[in-house]
Structure 1
Amino acid sequence: MITRPLGTTGPAVGALGLGCMGMSDLYGPADRTESVATIHAALDAGLTVLDTGDFYGMGHNELLIAEALRGRAREQAVISVKFGALRDAGNNWLGFDARPAAVKNFAAYTLRRLGTDHIDVYRPARLDPEVPIEDTVGAIAELVRAGQVRHIGLSEVGAETLRRAAAVHPIVDLQIEYSLISRGIEAEILPVCRELGIGVTAYGVLSRGLLSGHWAAGRPMPAGDFRAHSPRFAPENLGHNLSLAEALRAVAEPRGATPAQVAIAWVLHQGQDIVPLVGARRRERLTEAIGALDLELSDVDLEAIERAVPADAAAGARYPEPLMAHLDSER
């Protein structure tokens, strides 16, 4: 596995990371045995970053990762954890809590569920509008000094917040959506990350399946699949967005590749400081994603990709309006 630095202050990690959310939450039912096998396959292939959140399945995802790591060297994985999202028993979202006391409380529960003595990268899932980012980062910095956290990350924040946070403690990476049809970070956020030496862990590189080449119009949504509420999967937008995937397929097939591989390779090509997270829930999809590392995109390829999927080509916002309001990165 090719490695990349996680920012200028972080470790070298696999050039791809594994997003584990879908194994527990928000994409419908998943097979636990296959999920564990997929995590094992990712680690064996050198995908060291395992990305999770303490609210994915109300702790289920952390317990799943703990199960997968049992009997393996802890150093084989770089566990990245988001915290702060509040939910109730009906899976409703209640807001975010990033107060210093809450930071330490969430971390203690995560350490217990993961069965580890440290979290490699710890980050608030969203900016808490009621808490200065300096206070949140300062609380995580105390956990760093205590040895419970190795590095501090952020998620879906804008350039000003990045600067304020980095003034308190080094920030190793920003986790943010970045794909062929979600390029909002390029104007201001990505340049500031590079100025400050902050890496990017890019999620949504396949736009939740839209660019994978495996989605079809009329595909039923299982219970609990949040894509049923996603504007880009809405009936009025889905046909257009799937046409982008088909245009990408026309670029991929002459290269002996799939649309998913080309979409991932494009994100990889945007910089050595970017680590795409692939949300594979099954080993076959993981194998496909890893194949993107073998794709070297020429200038001709990049021009063809740009014609197939221009910037801002997607129909619909990347989240429903109420959730967009929580994104500091979109302000």
Structure 2
Amino acid sequence: MSFGGFYGPTTEPQSHALLAAALDLGIDHVDTANVYGMGVSETVIGSFLRGRKGPPPFRIATKGAITRDADGRRRYDNTAAHLGRELDGSLKRLGVESVDLYYVHRRDPSLPIEDVAETMAGFVKAGKIRAIGFSEIAPYSLRRAVAVQPVAAVQSEYSLATRLPELGLVQACEALGVTLVAFSPVARALLTDRPPTPEHAMTSQFMLSNPRFTEPNLSLNLARTDEFRRLAADMGTSAAALAIAWLLARSPAVVPIPGTRTVGHLKELAAGAELELDAEDLRRIETILPIGWAAGDRYSEEQSIGPERYC
């Protein structure tokens, strides 16, 4: 998403440098979507891949289903025709014949999820994708989909600031052998050493309307996470690395997908995979940031349209 300018301006050379650094760090999974920059993210990844020889060095995941009506309002289309067109467009931008994982980015409630799983299974049979996934679905929907077609992954927001997946989704993924791909694992930079300032939040269209980044909530969240930053420093690491390490300690089913525009931040995030937290470390983290610490919901009412609610 960062390649598409969601959190601020960037360039293709900067994104290419990030991808090269990821490979140097042993990172081999890249997650994108057709709507990140309206094709920009996929195009940038595709140009990086074309500049290299041999097969793609990454396991590539992308998504489809989000679109807009004639009035510009966001809607979700899970029909076979729409998902097929979007997938073909993604493959063209990426410059590959198939992707390792294709997600339904948001569920269209007008269609039974069993039918959508059948559509995705067709893409597997056609050789265009190797596995299917869903983003922001509820545990009960996951169970229905798995009954039709194996689901490799479910993508959902999960971090020390957003613990909702622990109320059913983590457990369902563990029981069904599904990977829980955790996006925004450092809480959109709140859990880093360089959290968004009120001035920065004013420049972000997303943060301008997001409850956690508008006042007075932002100031409250910055003050609360200051303690977490001090703890990370005491432990000799960065806040971002500690947040990633905490998430990896939650369940073997969890794979975090942090986003960034800078190589330095990427290295901080990757360092979290090398940290081993013991019971006392986890206790200290939970004392500072217990369940429910964050001020404000993770999404505004408008941003909440699409993700399935289950609690």
Match of 1:182 in 2: 162
Using the alignment, how far apart are the partners of 1:235 and 1:89 within structure 2?
34
1:163 deviates by: 0.6
1:24 deviates by: 0.6
> Equivalent residue of 1:264, what SS?
helix
What is the identity, as a one-letter code, of the residue corresponding to 2:279? Answer: D
What is the identity, as a one-letter code, of the residue corresponding to 2:260? Answer: A
Using the alignment, how far apart are the partners of 2:209 and 2:134 within structure 1?
25
**Could you say if the C-alpha distance between residues 102 and 227 of structure 1 is closer, same or farther in structure 2, counting changes exceeding 3 Å?**
same
Match of 1:9 in 2: none
1:45 deviates by: 1.7
Match of 2:210 among 218, 224, 230: 230
Using the alignment, how far apart are the partners of 1:205 and 1:219 within structure 2?
23
Match of 1:150 in 2: 130
Question: Identity percentage over the alignment?
Answer: 35
| 2:191–2:229 Cα contact (<8 Å) kept | no
Match of 1:219 in 2: 199
Match of 2:245 in 1: 265
**Could you say if the C-alpha distance between residues 216 and 97 of structure 1 is closer, same or farther in structure 2, counting changes exceeding 3 Å?**
closer
- Structure with more relative contact order (C-alpha pairs < 8 Å, separation 6 or more): 1
**Could you say if the C-alpha distance between residues 33 and 88 of structure 1 is closer, same or farther in structure 2, counting changes exceeding 3 Å?**
farther
Match of 2:14 among 29, 34, 48: 34
Match of 1:122 in 2: 102
1:270 deviates by: 1.0
| 1:179–1:206 Cα contact (<8 Å) kept | yes
Match of 1:22 in 2: 2
TM, length-normalised to structure 1: 0.89
What is the identity, as a one-letter code, of the residue corresponding to 1:180? Answer: L
Structure 1 unmatched ranges of 5 or more: 1-20
Using the alignment, how far apart are the partners of 2:273 and 2:96 within structure 1?
31
Using the alignment, how far apart are the partners of 1:313 and 1:296 within structure 2?
24
Instruction: Note the alpha carbon deviations across 1:255-312, whole angstroms, 9 max, x for none.
Output: 1111111111100111222111110211111111111122211111100000110011
Match of 2:86 among 77, 85, 106: 106
Match of 1:73 in 2: 54
1:89 deviates by: 10
1:329 deviates by: 4.0
Match of 1:160 in 2: 140
What is the identity, as a one-letter code, of the residue corresponding to 2:63? Answer: K
> Equivalent residue of 2:276, what SS?
coil
What is the identity, as a one-letter code, of the residue corresponding to 1:150? Answer: R
**Could you say if the C-alpha distance between residues 314 and 193 of structure 1 is closer, same or farther in structure 2, counting changes exceeding 3 Å?**
same
Using the alignment, how far apart are the partners of 1:229 and 1:242 within structure 2?
17
Equivalent pairs, count: 310
> Equivalent residue of 1:98, what SS?
coil
What is the identity, as a one-letter code, of the residue corresponding to 2:283? Answer: E
Match of 1:246 among 217, 226, 237: 226
Using the alignment, how far apart are the partners of 1:211 and 1:237 within structure 2?
15
1:25 deviates by: 3.3
Match of 2:39 in 1: 59
Structure 2 unmatched ranges of 5 or more: none
Match of 2:282 among 286, 297, 302: 302
| 1:133–1:161 Cα contact (<8 Å) kept | yes
Aligned-residue CA RMSD in angstroms? 1.8
Using the alignment, how far apart are the partners of 1:202 and 1:248 within structure 2?
20
TM, length-normalised to structure 2: 0.95
1:209 equivalenced with 2:184 (yes/no): no
1:218 deviates by: 2.9
1:82 equivalenced with 2:86 (yes/no): no
| 1:201–1:274 Cα contact (<8 Å) kept | yes
1:276 equivalenced with 2:267 (yes/no): no
**Could you say if the C-alpha distance between residues 64 and 47 of structure 1 is closer, same or farther in structure 2, counting changes exceeding 3 Å?**
same
Match of 2:296 in 1: 316
1:224 deviates by: 5.2
| 2:192–2:229 Cα contact (<8 Å) kept | no
Provide runs of 4+ in structure 1 moved above 6 Å.
none
Match of 1:16 in 2: none
